[in-house]
């Protein structure tokens, strides 16, 4: 829709593009795009994108990468590509996301098989399809009766 296309277009227009990409306002089309030299406080790093945009932000090491990744109001999904088992385990413990993917794409939770949900502004902290999701739809009640 117009609003989402405009939001994405504004988000990417001031960045260096690595690949050939099409941004077509008439068709509301943005082909997959890779942005480089992005800083941690750019909107493309701070907001949920929901579009074919990959932002590359240089960091000095894995610890800084986790710090940058966790420095957002959102926490729906994340991915870590690494052959270093210690980095993967560190991410398992410290990456604040609802769905975490190792050495694969960061989308693709299977409805009815993998619970899905995020933290902070990305959801309710419980996962749709997970065991704690039912509690959101329950109403607790304390009853006291004298005999």
Q: pLDDT value at position 136? A: 65
Instruction: Scan for tokens 């890779």, then name that residue.
Output: 34
Q: pLDDT value at position 75? A: 76
Structural domains in the chain, sorted by start: 2-137 (3.40.309.10)
Over the chain (147 residues), the average pLDDT of each successive run of 10 is 90 89 89 93 88 92 95 84 96 90 81 66 60 66 69
- Produce one character per residue of 20-58: b if its CB has 16 or more CB atoms within 10 Å, e if not: eeebeeeeeebeebebeebebebebbeeebebebebebe
Name the strand (E) or helix (H) holding 99. Answer: strand 99-102
Q: pLDDT value at position 94? A: 94
Q: pLDDT value at position 126? A: 58
């Amino acid at each position: 829709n117009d609003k989402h296309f405009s939001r994405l277009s504004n988000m990417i227009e001031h960045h260096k593009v690595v690949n050939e990409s099409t941004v077509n306002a008439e068709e509301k089309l943005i082909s997959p795009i890779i942005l480089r030299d992005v800083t941690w406080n750019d909107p493309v790093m701070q907001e949920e994108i929901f579009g074919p945009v990959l932002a590359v932000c240089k960091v000095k090491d894995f610890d800084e990468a986790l710090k940058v990744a966790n420095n957002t109001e959102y926490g729906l999904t994340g991915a870590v590509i690494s052959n270093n088992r210690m980095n993967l385990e560190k991410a398992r413990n410290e990456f604040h996301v609802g769905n975490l993917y190792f050495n694969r794409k960061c989308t693709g939770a299977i409805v009815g098989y993998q619970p899905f949900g995020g933290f902070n502004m990305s959801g309710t902290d419980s996962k749709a399809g997970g065991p704690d999701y039912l509690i959101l739809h329950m109403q607790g009640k304390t009853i006291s009766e004298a005999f």
